[in-house]
């Protein structure tokens, strides 16, 4: 299975998860944007970048590249994402049908790769553990965004979010 097909499967799994939560899902045309999906959560639009992790046979960990990859016929170019590129990164592990839901600032704070330990192999939980199936982070973020927009200034007009 090629990486494009794996990515398509991960995106569809993310769509299913969002629909189960009652969110509307928007899919941009083409693949030139820095995000793959947009969720409408309580009227707030949330941009999501979807990645599919692969299993590293030597360590048993799951790995995902947290850089943007562009290819043409001869050259593969990788660039780091910026905070403004998307709101959440969804890292899919197909063997377990689970997602790690990373806020963009956490996702881009890792080096070039994120190593996910799916089964506890050590006493201390890895840094990524708190993001396992943490879909509630998106709901909380949307609620905070909604609150920022609804706060009124002294003039009675809504403040910008």
Domain residue ranges of the chain, discontinuous segments joined by +: 3-133
- C-alpha angle 130-133-137 in degrees, rounded to nearest 5: 70
**pTM assigned to the model:** 0.84
**Tens digits of per-residue pLDDT, 8-17?**
999 999 999 9
Half-sphere exposure of 108 (CA within 13 A, CB side): 16
**Tens digits of per-residue pLDDT, 49-93?**
999 999 998 888 899 988 887 777 777 778 889 999 999 999 999
Identify the CATH number of the domain defined by range 3-133: 3.40.1350.10
């Amino acid at each position: 299975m090629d990486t494009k097909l794996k990515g398509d499967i991960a995106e569809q799994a993310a769509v299913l998860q969002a629909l189960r939560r009652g969110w509307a899902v928007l899919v941009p045309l083409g693949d030139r944007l820095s995000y793959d999906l947009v969720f409408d959560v309580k009227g707030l639009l949330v941009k999501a970048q979807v990645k599919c992790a692969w299993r590293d046979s030597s360590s048993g960990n799951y790995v995902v590249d947290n850089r943007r990859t562009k290819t043409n016929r001869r050259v593969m170019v990788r660039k780091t994402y910026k905070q403004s590129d998307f709101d959440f990164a969804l890292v899919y592990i197909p063997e377990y049908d689970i997602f790690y839901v990373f806020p963009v600032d956490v996702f881009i704070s890792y080096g070039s790769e994120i190593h996910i330990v799916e089964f506890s192999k050590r006493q201390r939980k890895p840094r990524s553990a708190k993001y396992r199936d943490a879909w509630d982070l998106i709901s909380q973020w949307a609620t905070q965004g909604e609150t920022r927009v609804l706060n009124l200034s002294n003039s009675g007009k809504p403040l910008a979010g």
